[in-house]
Structure 1
Amino acid sequence: MKILFVEDDDRIARPVVEDLRHQKYIVDYVADGLTAWAYAEASEYDCILLDLMLPKLDGITLCKRIRQSGYSGFILMLTAKDTVTDRVLGLDAGADDYLVKPFAIEELSARIRALSRRPQQFQDQVLQRGQLRMNLQTREVDYAQQPLDLTPKEFMLLECLMKRPSTVFTCEMLLDQVCELDRQAGTGTIRTHLTNLRRKFKQLGCQQNPIRTIYGVGYRLSSNGYNL
């Protein structure tokens, strides 16, 4: 699971980040709302731990913006405020759960596990882009009703592109998505996966490859290639 942790108090953040990483979660930590928004736009997170009181952009506004962008993961609001009004504001803004400070790290971990077991009502289990179809539950991919046999890394890479078809991803952004646990991997690894993916599309008779190169920038899903 990949987590974005947004907290401006370093004394709270450091032990939480250490504990979550010890549990093998992938954690990005930022200390203000605007930076958190930039991270949420650039990367895919399964869960966002979001402080209510943040510099530059408050947690309520950030939560609403993230939900309006189409984010389908879980948001757990963290705050020292414990009034009914504050809890309602957080939940109405799009948060899935609410944890009051100070909290035990064990309880935070339990809340994350509970959220991960909850059905994600916002997330479609099937991504469809023209004739390109991906089932996130069965991990099956087909193009023009022909199955694509993908490696786990190829699946993750294509999933990233399909979830945000209008986004241009740099190699570094894709590397963060696909190879976050492989510290030996480099951008050459991403290019190799993309080459293999394109080859597999070509073997199915795809005349215009769905993966488009934006020269000097990165890669995105073709705006018309997957409709052939």
Structure 2
Amino acid sequence: MRVLLVEDDVALSLGVTRALEREGWQVDGLADGRQAMAPGLINLYELAVLDLGLPGMDGMTVLRAWRAAGAKLPVLLLTARDELSDRVAGLNAGADDYLVKPFDLPELVARLRALKRRSEGRVSETLVVGELTMDLSHRELSHRADPVYLSPREFALTEMLMQRVGRVVSKDAIVARLSSWEADFSENSVEVYVHRLRKRLGELGVTIRTVRGFGYVLECNAQPGPATETGNESD
């Protein structure tokens, strides 16, 4: 998952970034409200953590502008103010949750997990496809209770496909999700990772099928078997 963090406190931003990266999430940080207003920027993310007391442009103004532009992603507000009127104003402006400083990082992570679940219409931290089970809380994938070891990028791609099992996931969406790990991540990189996962997961009862010109679909096989190359284009 890709998260936008808009926070001007350097130490806090670093701590939050590290905590979210331990979850396997990709975090892009900004320290100025005006930077968060770049055209189309907010559409690259699935969650946002937004401080209210920002230089350049305050967080409330940024939030209202995001919502006015049609941004639907969940937004968690951070603030040093604990007045009821401030909380109400933030929620009325379009915030999905509100956390007062100082806070514990585990609480922040838990709140963001809950926002992510609600945005996806889920109530569980577990994804199941066939005999594959993904524990999102602990960042673990297993097959019949046996661990399946993946790199962070492989895990993120598998999570994306399992969340949309039976539906096409476009190459553009995958590039957007994984690009914060390496600046030159491209559609060719996607093909490399899909090729790796196709071999890893094919023997565990799932297939990654190529839909020419669109992207990839994760499907559950009737019986686990060797990986097969499907589709009419490269992996």
Is TM-score (shorter-chain normalized) higher than 0.5?
yes
CA distance in 2, matches of 1:194, 1:113: 33
State the TM-score, normalizing by the size of structure 2: 0.57
State the TM-score, normalizing by the size of structure 1: 0.58
Cα deviation code 1:35-71 (max 9, x no counterpart): 46633xxx444x4327434347349x85xx445xxxx
Q: Among 206, 210, 213, which residue is 1:213 paired with?
A: 210
Is the aligned partner of 1:116 residue 2:108? yes
CA distance in 1, matches of 2:213, 2:86: 46
Equivalent residue number for residue 97 of structure 2: 96
Equivalent residue number for residue 132 of structure 1: 132
Equivalent residue number for residue 194 of structure 2: 194
CA distance in 2, matches of 1:132, 1:166: 15
Equivalent residue number for residue 174 of structure 1: 174
Identity rate of aligned residues, in percent?
Answer: 23
1:21-32 matches, cutoff 5 A: 25-27=27-29, 30-31=36-37
Q: What is the RMSD of the two structures over their aligned residues, measured on CA atoms?
A: 4.4
Runs of 4+ deviating beyond 6 Å: 21-24
Q: How many residues align?
A: 190
Unaligned 5+ residue runs, structure 2? 19-26, 52-58, 118-123, 223-235
CA distance in 2, matches of 1:155, 1:176: 15
Give the match's secondary structure for 1:181. coil
Cα deviation code 1:89-127 (max 9, x no counterpart): 53476532267xxxxxxx6xx669475354644543321
Please report how far the alpha carbon of residue 199 of structure 1 lies from its aligned counterpart in structure 2 after TM superposition: 0.7
Do the aligned partners of residues 31 and 118 (structure 1) sit closer, same or farther apart at CA in structure 2, a change above 3 Å counting? same
Give the match's secondary structure for 1:150. coil
Task: Read off the aligned partner of 2:200 and give its amino acid letter.
Answer: K
Q: Any conservation in 2 of the 1:154–1:193 contact (CA below 8 Å)?
A: yes
Q: Any conservation in 2 of the 1:171–1:218 contact (CA below 8 Å)?
A: yes
Equivalent residue number for residue 71 of structure 1: none
Do the aligned partners of residues 98 and 37 (structure 1) sit closer, same or farther apart at CA in structure 2, a change above 3 Å counting? same
Unaligned 5+ residue runs, structure 1? 7-12, 68-73, 100-106
Q: Any conservation in 1 of the 2:42–2:66 contact (CA below 8 Å)?
A: no
Q: Any conservation in 1 of the 2:171–2:215 contact (CA below 8 Å)?
A: yes
CA distance in 1, matches of 2:60, 2:104: 17
Is the aligned partner of 1:52 residue 2:60? yes
Do the aligned partners of residues 216 and 182 (structure 1) sit closer, same or farther apart at CA in structure 2, a change above 3 Å counting? same
Do the aligned partners of residues 56 and 142 (structure 1) sit closer, same or farther apart at CA in structure 2, a change above 3 Å counting? closer
Equivalent residue number for residue 226 of structure 1: 220
Task: Read off the aligned partner of 2:215 and give its amino acid letter.
Answer: G
Q: Any conservation in 2 of the 1:126–1:136 contact (CA below 8 Å)?
A: yes
Equivalent residue number for residue 233 of structure 2: none
Equivalent residue number for residue 10 of structure 1: none
Give the match's secondary structure for 2:213. coil
